[in-house]
Amino acid sequence: MGTRVTVVIPAYNATKTIGDGLEAFARQSFQAAEVEIIIVDDGSTDGTPEYIERYVKNWGPEQPRLRVMRQAHQGPAAARNLGAEAAQGEFLLFTDADCVPHLDWIKEMVAPFQSPSIAAVKGAYKTKQRSLVARFAQAEFEARYRQLAAAEYVDVVFSYSAGFRREIFRTIGGFDTSFPVADNEDTDLSYRVATAGYKIKFNPAAIIYHQHPATLKQYLRKKHSRAYWRVMVYKRFPGKAIRDSYTPQTLKLQIGSVVLGAGALAFIPLVPNAFYVAALAGGLFTATALPFLWQLPREDPGLRVAAPFLLVCRAVVMASGLVQTVPMLMSKTN
C-alpha cells in the first residue's frame, strides 16, 4: 500500500520535547503503512537528529516510516518546505516538535479530505497544563474554536495542526521563509490559500496537545509578538484586517477601547470632560468582554476571577505591538 500521508515536523534543539510526540505517533489509529514522518532538523546543537534516530531504531512495521533530514539553521518555515519537497504522501500534515498528537490525530486530519473540494484542514489545540495563565490561553483557543466551528469554511490553518493537499501546497508556494521569526508565517500561507479560492475546513476533533505559556511574562511576550507580526501580514492582505474567520471583532474593540481610554485619561488634566470618554471606553471594554467571561467553565472559579485582569493585560500588550509596527510601516511606505 502506498504512502497517503506525510507528516512534516521541524525540529530545533528538541531533545527535551520531541520524545512524547514520537511516542504518540507510534500509536496512531491511522494505518501506519500509509504514513511517513519526515523530521527536518534545523541545525540543532543538542544532538536532536541522533536522539530521534536512536528513539525510532526499534520501530517495526506497526509504526510509520520515519526519516530525519538536516539543514543549516534557517527557521521552521524553511524546514517545513524542505520536508514538503521530499514528501511522497498525497496529504501533507504539519505539527511541531513540542506537540503531542491525540491517538486519532492523523485520522481526523485526513477525514475532511474525503470531499475533493477541501484543500486544507485546521486542527485544534488542547493542553493538560494547570497553571492559571495556561488555562486562560486554552480558554482563548476554545472561544476561537467556537467561532471557527460556526463557519462552513475558514481562512486560517496554523502550523501546529495543519493539513494540505500536497500539490496545492506546492502550487501556493509553501511557507514564506522571509519571515525573520517563527510567527504568523502560517497566517500568511492561510490567507494565500483562501484568497486563491481554495476551501479550508476546521476539524476540532483533530487534537494536538501543547504547552501554552505558563507565566504572565511568557504569555504577554507572545501576544505582543502575535500582534506585531499579524500587522505585517495584514499589510499584504488588508481586507483580512477588517475580518477573518479566526480573530474576534471583540478583540479589536478591546484593543481600541484600551487605547482610547488611556489617551482620554492622559488628557483629563487639560480636558476634564475627557473623563467621560475614558468611562465610555471602559464600558465598551466591559461589554465586549462579557460574552467571553460568561463562557468560562463554572468549575474554574480562579480563572473566572483572574480573566478580566488578563483580558486587560492582553489588550494593552497587543496595542503596544500594533504601535510598534508604525515606524516599520512608514519606512516601507517612504
CA dist., res. 296 & res. 173, Å (int): 39
Cα 323 to chain centroid distance, Å, stands at 22
CA dist., res. 58 & res. 60, Å (int): 6
Under 8 Å CB-to-CB from 61, ≥6 apart: which residues?
Answer: 32, 33
- CATH number of the domain located at residue range(s) 5-212 in this protein: 3.90.550.10
CA dist., res. 318 & res. 312, Å (int): 10
Give the chain's residues under pLDDT 50: 333-334
Sign of CA dihedral 37, 41, 45, 49: positive
Three-state SS letters, 286-332: HHHHHHHHHCCCCCCHHHHHHHHHHHHHHHHHHHHHHHHHHHHHHHH
Per-residue pLDDT, 333: 47
Domain map of the chain by residue range?
5-212, 249-333
Per-residue pLDDT, 202: 98
Q: Return the residue matching grid coordinates 489617551.
A: 263
